[in-house]
Amino acid sequence: MTNSTPTVTRDGVVGFDGREVVTIDQATGAELARYPVDDSEQAAAAVAAARQAAGAWWDLGFDGRAQRLRAWQREIARAGEEVAALIHAENGKPVDDARSEVLGTIGHLQYVLGNAERVLGRRDVPAAQAAPNQQAWIEYQPYGVVGVIGPWNFPLITPGAIVISALAAGNAVILKPSHLTPGVGQWLVRAWETAVPDFPAVLQHLIGYGATGQALIAAGVDKVAFTGSVTTGKTVATQCAQTATPMLLELGGNDGVIVAEDADLDEAAAHIVWGATGNTGHGCISLEVAYVVESVYDAFVAKISDLARQVRVGSDDDAQVGPVPLTSQIPVIREHIADALARGATATVGGLDTVTGDRYVGPTILVDVPADALAATEETFGPTLAVVKVADTEQAIALINAGPYGLGSAVFSRGRGEAIARRLRVGMTSINDALTFTMNPALPFGGRGDSGYGRKHGEEGLREFAYPHSFSAKTGPARFSASTFDRPAGAAAHALAATRDRLLGGN
């Protein structure tokens, strides 16, 4: 450790020439803690220890792992207030939002405890018609060591849900939390060490910046689960491609919400203002653009503007929206607002003056936003909503589907919600609500296009961390066999003719 002054960069206080991570208390701006940065040597040691522990972890079987995952779940519940306070300090979100992360993490553990064996246990499949003497089945086997690289916006539940699935599938895991929220990642691992003292190397962490993430991948993990921005995700994918390391890529989004002519406008306004500004708009699934049908446009704008004006920003106990911990995001938010205003949009709430101090951004509702403005086409990642007027829901669907992302979405319609939702080329949709798909641990979560590939949560999230190993075992003599050279002459021609007759019915 050093006593010198930390370097202040566009990303806030980022430490001493990259040798330390310094976190700040988002409520006060004061230094919170310092962490030495882990380098390639530590990454290699962590991967070696994880690899050694992984075999015994898999050998425990579902019951043995469940027993330990349950102990970890209890420990997280026991110390839930402690980690909620840490999330509040490092990330700045209100303590109740932090508590929701803790509850959600416990919920994901509950899901894998109840479902891992059903989803990942041995599965028999019928013998093939061509080889009735073969018993066939699938076993889902762990990759080995999984590297989980996480973001700062949901520092517990986002990497936590992935870690939980990977562990339940029988892998050892190394977590590299964001440099803005390393304490939360470390806390999760310490809770593991407390609850599961016989398998400490099965869940470890490495602290640092991007270079530490690169070192983790270079140390030879068997799978990488990356959550973060599109740009970084593509860089990480390029590194993984060099070693054909499989990936889960959970990237950004620019989530659209459709307000149809038959929407309940009070419900829509209440859910959308929360979905757009809650968590300071720092959600990959935060609602970013509302496509509102013109017949209800003015009424919707009046309602949502009224609600957005009431959102309380700050770090006090009654604040609903906290600061922007990634200070380099503030110029991006301003750029998107300025671009929309320059193209003829109006801010009914907020606007360019909404940035107060160096870390707080108030809610902004931009109306009459052209569909090609930055606020409508790019991830703003702030407490802003771009409202775009559309002739009908067909136009709204086309605009959402034309975008490069495809993560979450929402639809408000009394009668056609499901029909509209089904036509959106996205990973997830809430109907007559906002963001609710992420609250159900059984629903797979992920995107398409620039939002990434692979899935976390639910059955798909468990299978993401296990590869299917197919088995075919001979149980008796072959009646018709193509698997030796002693196949009877004419057998293949006879089988093809029989198949043709069966399919064509003699025609």
Task: Give the integer Cα–Cα distance in Å for 142 and 54.
Answer: 9
Residue 186 touches ligand NAD, criterion: CB under 6 A: no
| Residue with smaller CB distance to ligand NAD, 80 or 382 | 382
Q: Beta strands of 280-358 (E only): which ranges?
A: 287-293, 346-349, 355-356
Residue 409 touches ligand NAD, criterion: CB under 6 A: no
Instruction: Find, among 143, 139, 170, 142, the residue nearest to 471 by Cα.
Output: 139
Residue 272 touches ligand NAD, criterion: CB under 6 A: no
Is 250 a catalytic site residue?
yes
φ, ψ at 356 (rounded to 5°): -115, 130
Q: How far apart are the first and last CA of the chain?
A: 83
Q: How far is the CB of 369 from ligand NAD (least distance, A)?
A: 20
- Choices 112-120, 227-235, 263-271, 360-368; region in contact with ligand NAD by CB under 6 A: 227-235
Residue among 50, 116, 319, 326 that touches ligand NAD (CB under 6 A): 326
| Residue with smaller CB distance to ligand NAD, 44 or 341 | 44
Task: Give the integer Cα–Cα distance in Å for 89 and 208.
Answer: 19
Is 240 a catalytic site residue?
no
Given 90, 101, 240, 284, the catalytic residue: 284
Task: Indicate the burial class of 502 (C-beta count within 10 angstroms; 0-12, 13-18, 19 or more).
Answer: exposed
Task: Give the integer Cα–Cα distance in Å for 467 and 451.
Answer: 23
What residues from 24 to 83 belong to the interface with ligand NAD (CB under 6 A)? none
The SS3 assignment for 275 reads helix
Residue 327 touches ligand NAD, criterion: CB under 6 A: no
Sign of the C-alpha dihedral computed for residues 276, 277, 282 and 288 taken in this order: positive
| Residue with smaller CB distance to ligand NAD, 7 or 483 | 7
Given 250, 288, 379, 459, the catalytic residue: 250
Residues ≥6 apart with Cβ < 8 Å to 41? none
Q: How far is the CB of 280 from ligand NAD (least distance, A)?
A: 12
The full 3-state SS of 42-96, as one line of letters, equals: HHHHHHHHHHHHHHHHHHCHHHHHHHHHHHHHHHHHHCHHHHHHHHHHHHCCCHH
Residue 178 touches ligand NAD, criterion: CB under 6 A: yes
Residue among 15, 170, 213, 350 that touches ligand NAD (CB under 6 A): 213
| Residue with smaller CB distance to ligand NAD, 101 or 307 | 101
The tokens for 419 are 């029909």
Residue among 26, 158, 320, 393 that touches ligand NAD (CB under 6 A): 158
Classify the phi-psi angles of 313: left when phi > 0, otherwise alpha if psi is within -120 to 50, otherwise beta.
beta
- Choices 2-10, 186-194, 223-231, 341-349; region in contact with ligand NAD by CB under 6 A: 223-231
- Choices 29-37, 173-181, 265-273, 481-489; region in contact with ligand NAD by CB under 6 A: 173-181
Q: Which amino acid, one-letter code, is at 245?
A: T
DSSP H helical segments within 201-246, as ranges? 210-218, 230-242
Residue among 155, 170, 228, 363 that touches ligand NAD (CB under 6 A): 228
| Residue with smaller CB distance to ligand NAD, 329 or 348 | 329
Residue 183 touches ligand NAD, criterion: CB under 6 A: no
Give the bridge partners for 389, in sequence order. 292
| Residue with smaller CB distance to ligand NAD, 32 or 60 | 32
Q: How far is the CB of 227 from ligand NAD (least distance, A)?
A: 5
Q: How far is the CB of 178 from ligand NAD (least distance, A)?
A: 4
DSSP 26: T
Residue 23 touches ligand NAD, criterion: CB under 6 A: no
- Choices 76-84, 97-105, 176-184, 465-473; region in contact with ligand NAD by CB under 6 A: 176-184
Instruction: Find, among 210, 155, 160, 157, the residue nearest to 182 by Cα.
Output: 155
Q: Which residue is nearest to ligand NAD (CB)?
A: 213
Interface positions with ligand NAD (CB under 6 A): 149-154, 158, 176, 178-179, 209-210, 213-214, 227-229, 232, 235-236, 250-253, 284, 326, 379, 381, 407, 452
Q: Annotated active-site positions, please? A: 250, 284
